[in-house]
Amino acid sequence: MRTTLADIAREAGVSTATVDRVLNNRDGVKERTRDRVLTVAGKLGYVEEGARPVLPASLASLPGGIVDLDIVLPGGTNTFINNLAARFADTAAVRPDVNLRIHSIEGFEPVLLAEKLEALRGKSQGVGLIGLDHPVVREAIRSLAGSGVPVMTLISDISHVPRVGYVGIDNRAAGRLAGYLLGRFMKAETGKVALFAGSLSYRGHEEREMGFRHMLREEYPGLSIVELREIRDDTERAYSEAVALLARYPDLAGIYNIGAGNRGISRALQEAGREKSVVFIGHELTEHTRRFLISDTMDAAIDQNPRVEAREAVDRLARAARGEENPTGPATRLQAIFKENIPEV
């Protein structure tokens, strides 16, 4: 028995008309309702016949039919990236017009990423990637785009490349928000602050740092940044670097973690008994940051919506692959999450 619109509607608690609008990407549906319908549709495997989904009538006439898309993400212990990969899989499950392949590459090895992009030439109709802003990566993107494959940057943009768009947050605005929150949480007008970053070779991390520094200069000039440590988004490295940092600065008042590694930093703060005295601002609402917010180890997490980003990226890449008009979308909305406003799962 194939899953029908009525099955999805019953499971999601909406009308079949709403399900039809969501699956055909039409307006007039609240974001939360759209997410619920897409999640249910993915779980129910809409609509299967044999090994792969059947094209609905509204998609069967699309030029090019099913398109082959590839998403290249960094590997490692980054929980947000793992969540994003899962959201891409969810999106693909309800897009029978798309054959989506997800690749994991060592995130801090630009040569490996460049080689993967080169390998996709002639095999992909559209590529989305999170990548370092590095010469070999830029050249690989130029080569891939020059062969007629549309390329889209995700989460962290890459400068001076022929991409069809960027899907992600305004990272400079995210850094400014982090600086504002840290300054407001501080109990004194002066104090020492430290930064952690995955790698400043990620343009997104560099932009967050810039925004953070600008906010402190503009609004909180008494706060001084004593160190910036790059941790390659690795939990254990974050832990060891945080342990050393806390030992070196017994009067450290604040930490801003630009990328991943919140688990390592939180562990170091808790072991040192300084989780209540050091203001800690990080990124992304995950199963781990929820716990750190509730325990007051983290003061705030600046969140983005991976489900929306995955859906937007797939939709825009599919349009580009078919040669359709592909307008630039707005940056993904930022949201500051605190202990008191953690959303339901």
pLDDT means over runs of 10, the chain (345 residues): 78 86 81 79 59 40 76 92 94 88 92 97 97 96 97 96 96 98 95 96 97 98 97 95 98 97 98 97 97 98 94 93 79 94 84
State the pLDDT at residue 57.
41
Q: Are residues 154 and 123 in the same domain?
A: yes
Q: Is residue 60 part of a domain?
A: no
Q: Is residue 48 part of a domain?
A: yes
State the pLDDT at residue 191.
98
Domain termination site, one of 54, 74, 98: 54
State the pLDDT at residue 297.
98
Q: Are residues 127 and 188 in the same domain?
A: no
- Give pTM, 2 decimals: 0.83
Q: Is residue 339 part of a domain?
A: no
Tokens coding 37: 């319908």
State the pLDDT at residue 19.
87
Q: Are residues 100 and 72 in the same domain?
A: yes
State the pLDDT at residue 33.
84
Indicate the DSSP class of residue 260: S
Cβ partners under 8 Å of residue 105, min gap 6: 72, 73, 74, 75, 112, 113, 116
Indicate the DSSP class of residue 54: P
Nearest C-alpha neighbor of 117 from the set 91, 89, 136: 136
Q: Are residues 9 and 39 in the same domain?
A: yes
d(CA 130, CA 154): 5
d(CA 126, CA 64): 13
State the pLDDT at residue 94.
80
Q: Are residues 94 and 163 in the same domain?
A: yes
Q: Are residues 295 and 186 in the same domain?
A: yes
State the pLDDT at residue 330.
75
d(CA 235, CA 260): 8
Tokens coding 270: 């808790």
Q: Are residues 124 and 227 in the same domain?
A: no
Q: Is residue 342 part of a domain?
A: no
Number of separate domains in the chain: 3
Q: Are residues 106 and 130 in the same domain?
A: yes
Q: Which domain holds residue 256?
A: 171-303
State the pLDDT at residue 345.
63
Q: Are residues 295 and 203 in the same domain?
A: yes
Domain termination site, one of 54, 77, 95: 54
Q: Is residue 344 part of a domain?
A: no
Q: Is residue 294 part of a domain?
A: yes
Helix ranges restricted to H, the chain = 5-12, 16-23, 31-44, 57-60, 79-93, 110-119, 135-146, 171-185, 203-219, 235-248, 262-271, 287-294, 306-321
CATH number at residue 159: 3.40.50.2300
